[in-house]
Amino acid sequence: MAIFLDQVGYLPDSKKQAVMTGSNSCRLLSESGESTGVDPIISYNGYDEASGDTTWRVDFSKLTLPGTYYLEDVEGNRSPAVHIRPDCYRDMFRDLSRMFYFQRCGCALEAPYAGKFTHKACHCAEVRDYLAPERRFFLNKGWHDAGDYGRYVTPGAVTLGHLLYAYELFPAAFADDLQFPESGGGIPDILSECRYELDWMLGMQLPDGGVAHKLTSQYHAPFVMPEDDSLPFFRYPVSSLATADFAAATALAYRIYLPFDKAYAERLLDAAELAWSWLTAHPALVFEDPKDCHTGGYGDTCDADERLWACAELYRARKAPQYLTALPTLLPRCKELTALGWGDVAGFAGFSVLFADAGVFPETVVEPFRSAFLEKADELLAVTERSGYRMSLKPDEFVWGSNLSVMSNACVLIAAALLTNDRSYADAAEEQLHYLLGRNPLGVSYVTGHGSNPFRNPHNRPTFADGIDEPIPGYVSGGPNGRPSDEKACALIPEGTPPMKCYADVYESYSTNEIAIYWNSVTVLAAAYFIGSR
């Protein structure tokens, strides 16, 4: 018998459910073992294919009094602590947002900000142009993408998308408490952090407006601290994917930075327009790794969704007719209008269009997004309702980075809640967060340092090499992967394991336990709603 619940906490007025296996009865007690007077409502949920478990739901929503509690079954087995507090996600949210500081490339992480997780400045040497290696130049700043030290434009832009829409929609969630060198400079901390990435991205644009796809070494570095990685870095060729994502992110950033730093905002918008002019002159140019490059490819075969996002944001920034006329031709070419991942980005165009002031976009553009978001949200509601662990992925959707899919589903549900004021969407979004934070069949919190049983061994080079036992707090794991592709996970996870349990908390397992900037940022966007708007 086991009881699984959100180890970080529940908001007092929210629905509160745990999941139980192997038993159909339990009690809800206070921390000191006293009765709470609330009988959990227990219902049988049957067999759950994604986890291979037969589950019972334990609903204790009636308990609204802030405090610490636990559930206990008839044999006296206790659940992890149940925390009910209005600010239960605050500390985690701060750590989720501070993660980007720890991913910074090209600067030293110093004790006042990094605590014990300091390191010297990394990757400051000249980089080379892949097509003309004799050309060398400095291209610093930006965030390490993930557990490797590469910097890639498309996932970088997507990360900025999650963070900047989170800031725009839920500014109250960002308490300006990130505590890094730029803090207190009159610009919200989260925007200073994003600027660190934007500055690097501006350097990835070539004079004709095209944007290079990535800046990495030819191989991933060995498991050393970033300052000890001496592999040469190459700026790889331009792709239309990177150029369009860049145009979108910089045009969005223009809007967000304008009240704080007009000159910087104008620079961003000029760069966005230059990228757009490159796009109008070039057909799709997807990226393919040259044969001698073995870092992440971020391959994607269609750039219509990237162009759509760019167009939406450029129209919001400039209101120029050429952007508006391009939208209806791009829309039908995008398959998933709600996608918020690194490959399919049309959902970001959705955020841009749906949350613009009324009348900015014509109904012919708003309507397809609105129906796509509501339709998808209804589907997610239904899957969540059936799921043994009350989450929104179907068994075949546990791919590499499944936690991105879970949290972007939460973001779609939040968008639907904002559009309709229908509480059931917000409730379902919260269920996805509970899954991430421990209400899953492994009873693990997929955020380091938060919850009673957080994962501890991310595939992250500094975490391995720093000689410190615990990981940096606030990192989101990629999560279960029904088809793990790294050797270690394949050896540890028996054939036939249900997808929701295909996970290995070992540092070698990049396909189930890496960290990545966009897995954190999508979680920031989802969690911001529960902190900043209710």
The entry of ligand 9MR, Zn ion, none that residue 522 binds, CB within 5 to 8 Å by partner kind: none
In the complex, the smallest distance separating the C-beta of residue 202 from ligand 9MR, rounded to whole angstroms, is 22
146 binds, among ligand 9MR, Zn ion, none (CB under 5 to 8 A by kind): ligand 9MR
Helices (H), 170-239: 189-203
Phi–psi pair at 301, nearest 5 degrees? -100, -10
Residues 265, 407, 97, 519: is their CA dihedral positive or negative?
Answer: negative
Active site residue 313: no
Both ends of the chain: CA-CA distance in Å? 35
Residue 149 CA to residue 510 CA, distance in Å, equals 14
Q: Which does 123 bind (CB under 5 to 8 A by kind): Zn ion, ligand 9MR, none?
A: Zn ion
458 binds Zn ion (CB under 5 A): no
**Which of the choices Zn ion, ligand 9MR, none does residue 226 contact, using the CB cut-off of 5 to 8 A by kind?**
Zn ion
**Within a 10 A sphere around the Cβ of 134, how many other Cβ atoms?**
6
Site string for Zn ion, 80-109 (x = CB under 5 A): -------------------------x----
151/156 Cα distance (integer angstroms): 8
Question: Scanning the structure block, which residue is given the tokens 């109008």?
Answer: 280
Catalytic residue among 123, 144, 434, 459: 459
In this structure, how many other beta carbons lie within 10 angstroms of the beta carbon of residue 136?
13
Cβ closest to Zn ion, residue 217 vs residue 408: 217
Is 505 among the residues known to form the active site? yes
Cβ-in-10-Å burial (0-12, 13-18, 19+) of 127 comes to buried
Task: Give the shortest CB-107-to-Zn ion separation in angstroms.
Answer: 9
Q: Which one, 126 or 487, has the nearer CB to Zn ion? A: 126
Q: Under a CB-based contact definition with an 8 Å cutoff, are residues 242 and 258 in contact?
A: no
For Zn ion, how many residues bind (rule: CB under 5 A)? 4
The entry of Zn ion, ligand 9MR, none that residue 122 binds, CB within 5 to 8 Å by partner kind: Zn ion
How far from 159 is each of 32, 341, 395, CA to CA, in Å?
43, 9, 26
Q: How deeply is 397 buried, as exposed, middle or buried, from its count of CB atoms within 10 A (0-12, 13-18, 19+)?
A: middle
Q: Which residues bind ligand 9MR (CB under 6 A)?
A: 145-146, 148, 150, 296, 298, 400-401, 510, 514, 516
Of 83, 94, 98, 123, the residue at the interface with Zn ion (CB under 5 A) is 123
CA angle, residues 317, 322, 324, in degrees to nearest 5: 70
The residue annotated as part of the active site, out of 193, 197, 313, 505, is 505
Least CB distance to Zn ion at residue 146 (A)? 12
Backbone angles phi, psi at 66, to 5 degrees: -55, 140
Euclidean distance between CA atoms 14 and 436, whole angstroms: 17
Output 103 or 154, the one with its CB closest to Zn ion. 103
Return the number of the residue (226 or 347) whose C-beta is nearest Zn ion: 226
CB of 122 to Zn ion, least distance (A): 3
Least distance (Å) from ligand 9MR to the CB of residue 511?
7
Least CB distance from residue 412 to Zn ion, whole Å?
Answer: 33
Q: Which residues in 71-80 are b (16+ Cβ under 10 Å) and which e?
A: bbbeeeeebb
Tokens of 319: 């209101």
Minimum CB distance to ligand 9MR smaller for 146 or for 418 = 146
- How near is the Cβ of 233 to Zn ion at its closest, in Å? 9
Residue 53 binds which entry of ligand 9MR, Zn ion, none, CB below 5-8 Å type-dependent: none
Of the listed 6, 148, 193, 273, which one is catalytic? 148
Out of 122, 158, 308, 414, point to the residue binding Zn ion (CB under 5 A): 122
For 207, residues 6+ apart whose C-beta sits below 8 A from its C-beta are none
Q: 202-231: which residues touch Zn ion (CB under 5 A)? A: 226
Q: Is 514 a catalytic residue?
A: yes
How far from 473 is each of 27, 220, 390, 469, CA to CA, in Å?
32, 24, 26, 12
By a kind-dependent CB cut-off of 5 to 8 A, residue 443 interacts, out of Zn ion, ligand 9MR, none, with none
In the residue annotation, 266 being an active-site residue is answered as no
* Residues contributing to the site for Zn ion (CB under 5 A): 105, 122-123, 226
User: What are the catalytic residues?
Assistant: 148, 459, 505, 514
